[in-house]
Structure 1
Amino acid sequence: MQMETFHWKKNQILAEDYITGKGNAKALFPYHFGNEEDWQARVTWLDGAQDAPHVHRERLVEVLEAYNRRVGNTEAAFAHIAALGDKQALAVVGGQQAGLFGGQLMILYKAITLIQSAREWSAKLERPVVPIFWIAGEDHDFDEVNHVHVLSSAQQIEKLKVDHPTGGRTSVSRLPLTSDAWEEALNKLDQSLMDTEFKASLLDKMRSASEGEATLSEAFARWMAMLFGEYGLVLIDSDDPALRALESSMFEAIIRQNAALAGALMQSKAEVSQAGYGIQAEVHEQAANLFVFAEGARLLLQREGDQFSDKKHIVNYSKDELLDKAITTPEQLSNNVMTRPLMQEFLFPVLATVLGPGEIAYWALTKQAFEHFHMRMPIVLPRMEFTLIEGTIKKQMDKYELALTDVIERFDEKKQAWLDAQDTLQLNERFEDVKASFLNAYGPLVESLSVINPGVKKLGDTNLAKIVEQIEYLHHKASEASHTQFDAAIRQLDRVRLTIFPLAKPQERVYNGCAYLNRYGNVWLHTLIQTPIPVDGLHRIYYL
C-alpha cells in the first residue's frame, strides 16, 4: 500500500488549532487525543464516575442486540455488544446522518477511524474497547442525505437522488421509501457505474440493503453492516424507539434542569468566543435544546419560563407535560446537536468520540454542559481523512508535474502555465508586442488631435479602443484555436482536478464509495481497516 501524509488545513480554525495543539483551542477540551496520559486519565475517570448518570448496561446490550439483529450485523459485532455488558468495557463512538448508498466517502473513513482506534486502545489498555457507529436517524434534513455525487464518463459531476416520500419535516428513520423509488435510484446507480467484475455483486448487495421499502436509515445500516460488520462495528439508530426508552431518565434530567443547561452552554459559548473562535452552532438562553415529534413534524423547542413551544407556536407544553412525555412516550422526544453528546455519554462508556472538523468546533460548546450533569467530555478524536488517487490519475499528475497542493490551491494557474509552455508560436508575447507597438505609435497621435478640436480627440480615443479590442479578440481566438490541439491534455488535467478537488471540496466530502468499490472491489477498504494508521489529524493520499 502506497500512502503519503499531507497537512490539509481545516476550514474550521478551532478544529485546526485543536488538532495541531496551537492557539487557545486546547483549553476548551478536557483531554487531548495526542497525549497518552490523557487517555489513561479518561479511563480512570470513567472507572470512578459514580455520580454521572448512565444507563443500565444490561438493558443497553438488549437494545443493541435487537437492533443489530434487525439490520443483519455479524457475529463479530454481537461479540462486541456482549462485551459491553462487562463494566471493564469501554467504547469509541462516532456517527453521521444516514446517506443514500452509504453517503460520502468520509462516512466510511469515520467507521474506519472507530475500528482502528478501538483496536489500538483495546490492545494498549488490555480491556475491551468497542467501536460504535451512531446513525443520526432522528435528523429531519432529508435533502442533506437523499443524494450522492458521481463523476460521469463525460467528466460531469452528477447527482443521484431519491425524492422525499411525503414532504413532511420528520426524521429520516420515519420515512420508508417505496420499492419503485428504490428501484429507480438503483437503476441510476447502475447507469453511473462502469461494467466491472465487481458490479453485479455490488448492486445485489445494494438491493438487499434497500429491500422491504426500507428507510434511508435502514438501508444505510444494512450497508454499513455488510462493509464493516466483520470488524465488529456496532450500529445504533438514534431514533430507535427501544433506544428512546432507555433515554427516558436523561430526557427527564434535561427538561428538569433546562434553564441550567442553557446557562452552561452559554458559559461555554462565552469561553469559545473569548478564546478567539467563531460559534459553530446556535446557542441562546431560551433554547430548550430538544425536539418534539408532533403534528407530523420534528419541531425544535424553546423555553419561555416553564412553557415549551416551537417558534411558530404550533405546539405548547408545560414543564410537567413535557416531563410526562419523557417518562411515558420518550420516542416523541429527540436531541439537538447540543444534547446529543450528553445522551451519547449517558448511553455508553465513551473513551473517545470520533468527530469531523465542524463537529469538533461545536462540541467545544458542550464542555460546561457535561460538567453540569456530573459528566466529562470524552477524548475528541479527529476523523481520519483520505484522498484516493488511481493509477491513471497519478500518471497524469506526474506527466503534468502536479502536486496535490497544485490541484487544491493553484490548479487554473498551473493548467494555464502548461498550455502557455506549449505555445511554440509565442502568441502571448507577440500579441502583447503588437499591442504595445500600436499604442506607442498611435497613442501620441490621438493625443495630438485635441489641438484640432475635442470632438476629433474623442473620435480618436474611441477608434484606438476599438483597434485594441480587435487585437485582443484575435489574440483570444488564436489562443482558443491553439488550445484545441491539446483537447486530450485538457481533459486529462480536468479529470485530475475533478477527481481530487470536486466542487472545490475534498474528494471525501463529495463522492460516494460505490464507484471505487465497483472499480477495485473492497480490497482497498479492507487494507485501510487492517493496516495500523495513526489517528493524528493528518490527511492521507492513498494510491490505488
Structure 2
Amino acid sequence: MTEVQKYELPIAQQLAADYIHGKPQVVESLYGYYSGRNEDWAARSARLEQLADKRLKPEELAKVLRLYHQPFQLSEQQERNLQLIEQGAQVVVGGQQAGLWTGQLLVIHKAVSIIQAARAASEQLGRPVVPVFWIAGEDHDWDEVNHTHVIAPDQSLKKLSIEKSSEQRTSVSRTPVSEQQWQQAIAELAEQLPGSEFKEGLIAELTHLSEQSESLSTCFAAIMHSLFAAHGLLLIDSDFAPLRELERPMFKQLLEHNDQLEAAYLASAAAIREMGYSLQADVTAGSSNLFIFAKQFGDDRILLYKQDGSFQDRKAQLRLSYEELLHLLEAEPSRFSNNVLTRPLMQDYVFPVLATVLGPGEISYWALTGKAFAELGMEMPIIVPRMSYTLVEGIIAKNMDKYGLSFHDVMDHYQERKKGWLQQQDELHIEQRFAEVKQQFIAMYEPLLELAGSIQSGLAKLGDTNMAKILEQISYMEGKTIDAQEKQFEAAIRQLDRIELSLKPAGKPQERVLSMISYWNRYDRAWLDALLHAPYSRIGGHEIVFL
C-alpha cells in the first residue's frame, strides 16, 4: 500500500482559501454550492435535470465526443462512459492548457481529481457520473505551454521546449508542430533523462504518439488517453471544429446578451473587491469577453471590444457589426472562441456539469461568473478544489531520514537546515573563530583610530574605511575557508540539494515545475497508480505520496 502523509501547502489566493475552508459569506454570495456539503451534490444533480433545456442534447454531445475519440482505441470503461453520456449521465469536468508532454504535474493531479470526484459523486448519488477532461486548445499563449522541466542526469533542472515556427497568435491547437520538431524534442528528452529500465519503452511510446500528432494539443490528448483510458476519462478539445458547430446557439446567446453579461461581470468584480479580495482575471469595461480567429490577420486569435455599436480589436484594425458577427457565426462557428469568463458558461451549455474541478487561481476567477450564469438562466456548478500531491522517491525519503529533514523543513527552512547540518560537521568552529578574530581586531584597532583622529580629524574617516576593508578581507578569507571545508562534504551537499530539487524545484512546489515524464521514466505507471489510490477529499488538500 502506498504511504501517504497530509501536508497543508499555503494558498496564495485568499478567496480560493476561504472557499476551500467553507467560509459562509464567500460560498453563499459568490458560489452558491459548496463541495464539502453532501446535500449540495444532491441538490445540484436535481437542478441539472430541471435545466436540461439549457444545454446540448445528450445524443449530440455523445456523438461529438465519440468523433473526437476516433483516433484512439477506446477502453471498455470509456466506451461505457460514452454510452452513459448518450443516456444523459452527468459529468465532473475540469480543463487545462495542452502542455508539452502534459506539462506540469498539476495537470495530472487535475485529471486524477476529476476521476476521483466523479467516482465519489457516483457512489453518493447512486447514479453514473462521468469524468471529462476539457483541453483548452483554443488558448493562444504558446510560451505557457511549449515547455516542460525534467531532472537531468547531472542533477540539474532542465527546461525542454519546442519553438514556434511562426509569429501567429492563433490557438495552440491550430499551431502546427512538424515531424522534425517532434524528433528534435524527443532526442533532447532522451539525452536529458537518466537511464532506467523503463526509459527505452517511454521514449518509444512518446515517439509513436508524436508521430501521429500535428500539434501540442493532439499529442497532449494522445498521452492523456494513454495514461487515463483505463479509468474511463473522456477528452475534448475546446477548439475541436465539430464541437464549435454545436456551440453555435450558446455563442449566439453570448452575443445577444453581451451588454448584460458585461454588467454582470463588472458587478461581480465590484462585489469581490468590496469583500476585500483581489481579482484573478481582468474584467474590462467594453470587452465582449469573446475572441475571433481573424483570417485577414493570419488566423490570429483576437479579443473583441465594443465601440460605437460595433465589435473591433483593440487597435480598431478589425471592425464587425453585430449583424455581421451573427452572419459569421452562422457560416463559420469555428472562428469564435471564449475567454476565461465566458468559457464556464460554454462548458455548462455543452455538458451536464455536476461539478467542475479547479485549481486555486481558477476558483478565484470563477467567482466572477455567478451573476453571468444567472443572466442566462443557468447556475454555477459545484466547485471542487483540485487535489495536490508531492511525489517522494525512495532515495529522496532515505536521504531525508539520513539528514533528519521533514517535508516541512524542505519546503520552508531548507537553506537554514542545510547550513545547520554543515555547521554541525564543523569541528574546527570556523565561523566562531573568525568572529573572535574580527572582534579582537576591532578592539585593537579602534584605539588607534581615536589616536589618529585626535591628531587630524580627517584621519578618523579614512581609518573607518580602512577598518571596513580589512574586515571585508577577513570575511573573504572566512568564506574561502568554509568553501574548502565544505568540499569535504560534497557528496552530502549533492544529496541535500537533490532533495530540494525533487521536492521544491526552482523554489516552487513540485507540481508547478516538474513533468510527470521523470516519474514515468523511473517507475513506469506505478507513480500514477499511487496517485489514484491516495486519499481523496472533495475540498482538496495536499498529500505527500511516497513511491
- Which bin holds the TM-score, normalised by the shorter protein? over 0.9
Displacement of 1:491? 1.0
What is the alpha-carbon distance in structure 1 between the residues aligned to residue 313 and residue 93 of structure 2? Answer: 30
Instruction: Verify: 1:491 aligned to 2:473, yes or no.
Output: no
Give the unaligned 5+ runs of structure 2. none
Partner of 2:265: 265
Alignment-derived partner of residue 29 in structure 1: 31
Asked if residue 176 in structure 1 is aligned to residue 176 in structure 2, the reply is yes
TM-score, normalised via structure 1 length: 0.97
Paired position in structure 1 for 2:385: 382
* Partner deviation per Cα, 1:490-519 (whole Å, 9 max, x = no partner): 111111111111111111111111110110
Shift of 1:434: 1.4
Describe the SS at the equivalent of 1:292: strand
- Which residue type is aligned with residue 432 of structure 1? A
Q: 1:427 to 1:530 in 2, by over 3 A?
A: closer
Task: Tell me if 1:49 matches 2:48.
Answer: no
**Mean Cα displacement is larger for which, 465-474 or 275-284?**
465-474
Counterpart in 1 of 2:66?
65
Q: Distance in 2 between matches of 1:344 and 1:92?
A: 11
Label 1:436 to 1:147 Cα distance change in 2 as closer, same or farther (>3 A): same
Match of 1:394 in 2: 397
> Aligned ranges for residues 523-542 of structure 1 at < 5 Å?
523-530=526-533, 533-542=536-545
Aligned residues of 1:139 and 1:172 also touching (Cα < 8 A): yes
State percent identity of aligned pairs.
45
Contact between 1:133 and 1:234, CA under 8 Å: does it hold in 2? yes
Q: Does the residue aligned with 1:312 lie in a helix, a strand or coil?
A: coil
- Deviation readout 1:292-333 (Å, 9 max, x if unpaired): 001220001111242001102231110011111222211000
1:73–1:226 Cα contact (<8 Å) kept: no
Q: CA deviation at 1:455?
A: 3.6
Give per-residue Cα distances to partners, 1:99-129, cap 9 Å, x unaligned.
1112111111111111111111112211110
Q: Determine the C-alpha separation between the residues in 2 that align with 1:341 and 1:456.
A: 73
Are positions 1:419 and 2:422 aligned together? yes
Give the Å deviation of 1:197: 2.2
Partner of 1:328: 331
Preserved contact between residue 93 and residue 355 of structure 2 (Cα < 8 Å): yes
Q: Does 1:543 align with 2:543?
A: no
Separation in structure 2 between the aligned mates of residue 254 and residue 84 of structure 1, nearest angstrom: 25
Q: Where does structure 1 lack aligned partners over 5 or more consecutive residues?
A: none
Give secondary structure in 2 for the equivalent of 1:239: coil
2:409 aligned to which of 385, 393, 406: 406
**2:210 aligns to what?**
210
Deviation at 1:530, TM superposition (A): 4.4
Instruction: Tell me how far apart the structure 2 counterparts of residues 326 and 129 of structure 1 sit (CA, whole Å).
Output: 32
Per the alignment, residue 194 of structure 1 pairs with: 194
Give the drift of 1:198. 1.5
Q: Alpha-carbon deviations, 1:334-370, whole Å to 9, x = none?
A: 0000000000000111010000111111111111001
Q: Which moved more, 1:475-484 or 1:221-230?
A: 475-484
Aligned residues: 542
Counterpart in 1 of 2:96?
96
Q: Secondary structure at the match of 1:93?
A: strand
Alignment of 1:221-370 (within 5 A): 221-294=221-294, 295-296=297-298, 297-370=300-373
Are 2:449 and 2:463, in contact at CA under 8 Å, matched by a contact in 1? yes
> RMSD over aligned Cα, in angstroms?
1.5
* Alpha carbons 1:268, 1:364 under 8 Å: kept: yes
- 1:37-63 Cα deviation digits (max 9, x unpaired): 11111112112225x621122111111
Alignment deviations for residues 74-121 of structure 1 (CA, whole Å, 9 cap, x no partner): 33212211111223x110000101111121111111111111111111
Per-residue CA deviation, residues 249-288 of structure 1 (Å, 9 max, x unaligned), is: 0000000110100000011111111111101111022010
CA deviation after TM superposition for structure 1 residue 440, in Å: 1.8
Is residue 7–residue 542 contact of structure 2 (8 Å, CA) maintained in 1? yes
Letter in 1 for 2:520: L
Question: Hey, what's the Cα distance between the residues in 2 that align with 1:442 and 1:532?
Answer: 65
| Counterparts of 2:73 and 2:513, CA distance in 1 | 28
Matched residue of 2:285: which SS? coil
Matched residue SS, 2:481 = helix
CA distance in 2, matches of 1:165, 1:337: 26
SS of the residue corresponding to residue 70 of structure 1 reads coil
Distance 1:250 1:459, change over 3 A: closer
The residue matched to 1:130 in structure 2 has which SS? strand
